[in-house]
A and B are shown apart, each in its own frame.
Chain A
Amino acid sequence: MAKILLNMITQRSIEEGIAMEIGKPSKEYFEACSLVEMNEDDIKALGITPNTNVKVTSESGEVIVKAVVARQTCYRGLCHIRQGVWANQVVPPRTQSTGEPQYSGFPVYIEPAPFERIKSALECVQGAVGLWKEGNE
């Protein structure tokens, strides 16, 4: 299957904001943030249908998320993960000496991963620091 190079941005959305206040371990937060919004043609170029899981790989990490057609349209070549746990698995920590990581405008490879599971928020963060155990939810 295809693998494409896109320009990633991560920004706020109201769905993410509401879900964040409900609670980051919540189902609402998982559904709001564990997805990558793409241009419809880029999804076609991957050879998949919308709502298929994909693997996003950057210079600093990788994450499995669901590929959806962006309602707030991205042009071809641009993709967006809502700010939060899944986005920060791939955001590069380089700051251009300002303190601000590269939250917007970094290259990522996206490839289909239809049989891969999307990790929960807790599994992503606790797993990264060696605290994750089944049943921690």
Chain B
Amino acid sequence: MPKVIKNVGCPYCGACCDDVEVTVSDDGKRVLEVKNVCAIGTQIFMHGGDHDGRIKLPRMRQPDGTMKDVSFKEAIDFTAKTLLKAKKPLMYGFGSTNCEGHAAAARVMERAGGCLDNCASICHGSSFLAIFDNGYPSCTLGEVKNRADVIVYWGSNPAHAHPRHMSRYAIFPRGFFTGKGHKSRTVIVIDPRFTDTGRVADYYLQVRQGHDYELFDAFRMVCHGHADDIPDVVANIPKETILEVAEVMKNARFCNFFYGMGLCHSDGRNHNIDIAISLTRDLNEFTKCTIMAMRGHYNITGPGAVWSWQFGFPYCLDLTKKTMVHMNPGETSSVDLAMRDEIDAFINIGTDAGAHFPIPAVQHLKKHPFITIDPSRNMASEISDLHVPVKICGVDDGGIVYRMDNVPIQYRKVVDAPAGVPSDEEFLDAVYERMVELEGEGFI
């Protein structure tokens, strides 16, 4: 009989839906059906387990450019030697890896004396910079569900990027003090495109792209009693609309800002987040107001939490001195390191730098040994010297993940991975042990 497993966490986005129901086959090797999961999460679950399409052995690039299957022992040896030979290796990724994998990676890179970075580097890294400068008056998604009656999505499009965020936490659910669900909430969407999220908004503000800072500034002027001094139009938004929406925010019982890549990727970067936090603080003079970053991958909050505990910094770690660590985005961030050609070995893990880095950065990284640790074929694996398949966290491996509101959740294994395929943690621990052995043998 197929078995139904309830309350499973979804390994797609930062909303970390943990009410998924998965039906698995008699032999525990295949996912047959999933419920309570979005279209993207469905694809991830259906790819897990032991099936013909799964890559089961590491693949090493041959001199003629083709890939050849090798043993995990060879892959471990190649990775360990590559790390020891390099003067400044970089390990980057971790959005789709559990926290146990993050800790194992940190141990490896501290031993190797290299750089360690996660996807926040090209995602919410500027949020970290702003949070260091200005604090983070945030809350949990449960508090949003139960209390928030004004929801602002600014530069984020959850209808596409976090498909169940609105229905589980922010707009539609009936909470303790929000018993009427959608009817008890006012939704404000601010975005240069009239997105699908914009379609559910009570107020949609089509801000001019790259001019968010000015609009935040206008809202702050209203909060500080200088509404009369606002120009007639700010960032494409008429003054009357700004005043009306500012009143909605001020008169909320509990207002929450969700912000995304629209702020982090545009001109201004961390300064856009900085002023968003300042506006949140200002609104607390009138009501309760909080702010939350719409973190992308299901466990991209994890490496920030794990490495902050281990080293004191969440991303862009430079461990080359081994005895101490420093972090300086712009200098120790992956894309900047690549563009200055400072890296002489690259390990891509639980992400796809081949598809998601600007192509000039990929070209620089590819000048040196390039290893990918990922369950499936992606652009990084197809240009790698070595591709190591691993278990899919949340489908055929369990582990701790951190939701976008920094709440840790225990993810579960629902099906068996192909025999012999290790988890990220198991592979990285084996690489560490091999590095110790090689150093003992006088390698390098």
Select from chain A the residue with minimum beta-carbon distance to B194: A73
Query: Known: A18-B43, A21-B44, A104-B209. Contact between A99 and B330, CB under 8 A?
Result: yes
Which residues on the B side are within 8 Å of A74 (C-beta)? 192-193
Contact across chains for A105 and B209 when beta carbons are under 8 A apart: yes
0/1 per residue, B219-240, Cβ < 8 Å to A? 0000000000000000000000
Bound: A60/B363 CA distance, A: 12
Contact across chains for B206 and A75 when beta carbons are under 8 A apart: yes
Q: Would you call B352 an interface residue if the criterion is a C-beta within 8 Å of the partner chain's C-beta atoms?
A: yes
Task: Name the distance in Å between B364's Cβ and chain A's nearest Cβ.
Answer: 9
0/1 per residue, B298-331, Cβ < 8 Å to A? 0000000000000000011000000000000110
Bound: A64/B412 CA distance, A: 42
Q: Would you call A48 an interface residue if the criterion is a C-beta within 8 Å of the partner chain's C-beta atoms?
A: no
Pick from B103-111, B158-166, B169-177, B416-424 the stretch touching chain A: B158-166
Bound: A80/B209 CA distance, A: 11
Q: Would you call A12 an interface residue if the criterion is a C-beta within 8 Å of the partner chain's C-beta atoms?
A: yes
Interface size on B, residues (CB 8 A): 66
0/1 per residue, A91-121, Cβ < 8 Å to B? 1110111111111110000000000000001
Q: Would you call B267 an interface residue if the criterion is a C-beta within 8 Å of the partner chain's C-beta atoms?
A: yes
Contact across chains for B193 and A125 when beta carbons are under 8 A apart: no
Task: Name the distance in Å between B314's Cβ and chain A's nearest Cβ.
Answer: 12
Query: Known: A98-B129, A101-B335, A125-B354. Contact between A25 and B377, CB under 8 A?
Result: yes
Which residues on the A side are within 8 Å of B4 (C-beta)? none
Task: Name the distance in Å between A40's Cβ and chain B's nearest Cβ.
Answer: 13
- Name the interface residues of A56-90: CB closer than 8 Å to any CB of B: 60-61, 70, 72-75, 78, 80, 83-85, 88-89
Which residues on the A side are within 8 Å of B65 (C-beta)? 131, 133
Query: Known: A103-B265, A105-B209, A121-B355. Contact between A98 and B329, CB under 8 A?
Result: yes
Secondary structure at the A interface, as helix, strand, loop or mixed, is loop
Task: Name the distance in Å between B117's Cβ and chain A's nearest Cβ.
Answer: 8
Which residues on the A side are within 8 Å of B361 (C-beta)? 93, 101
Contact across chains for B360 and A61 when beta carbons are under 8 A apart: yes
Contact across chains for A100 and B43 when beta carbons are under 8 A apart: no
Interface centre among B160, B333, B352, B357 (most CB of A within 10 A): B160
Q: Would you call A129 an interface residue if the criterion is a C-beta within 8 Å of the partner chain's C-beta atoms?
A: yes
Residue among B163, B335, B379 making CB contact with A99, cutoff 8 Å: B335
Query: Known: A9-B192, A83-B356. Contact between A14 and B363, CB under 8 A?
Result: no
Residue among A7, A11, A18, A128 making CB contact with B262, cutoff 8 Å: A11
Contact across chains for B125 and A98 when beta carbons are under 8 A apart: yes
Bound: A17/B164 CA distance, A: 14
Q: Would you call B57 an interface residue if the criterion is a C-beta within 8 Å of the partner chain's C-beta atoms?
A: no
Q: Would you call B47 an interface residue if the criterion is a C-beta within 8 Å of the partner chain's C-beta atoms?
A: yes
Select from chain B the residue with minimum beta-carbon distance to A85: B355
Contact across chains for B192 and A129 when beta carbons are under 8 A apart: no
Q: List 13 A-B contacts (CB under 8 A).
A: A9-B209, A12-B160, A14-B39, A20-B40, A24-B355, A74-B193, A88-B357, A93-B360, A96-B330, A100-B123, A100-B264, A104-B262, A129-B363
The 6 closest A-B pairs by CB, nearest first: A99-B333, A97-B330, A21-B43, A103-B265, A104-B265, A93-B358
Given A23-B376, A104-B210, 17 further pairs, Cβ under 8 A: A11-B265, A12-B161, A21-B40, A24-B352, A24-B379, A60-B359, A72-B194, A74-B192, A75-B206, A88-B362, A93-B339, A95-B333, A99-B316, A99-B330, A103-B261, A105-B210, A125-B359
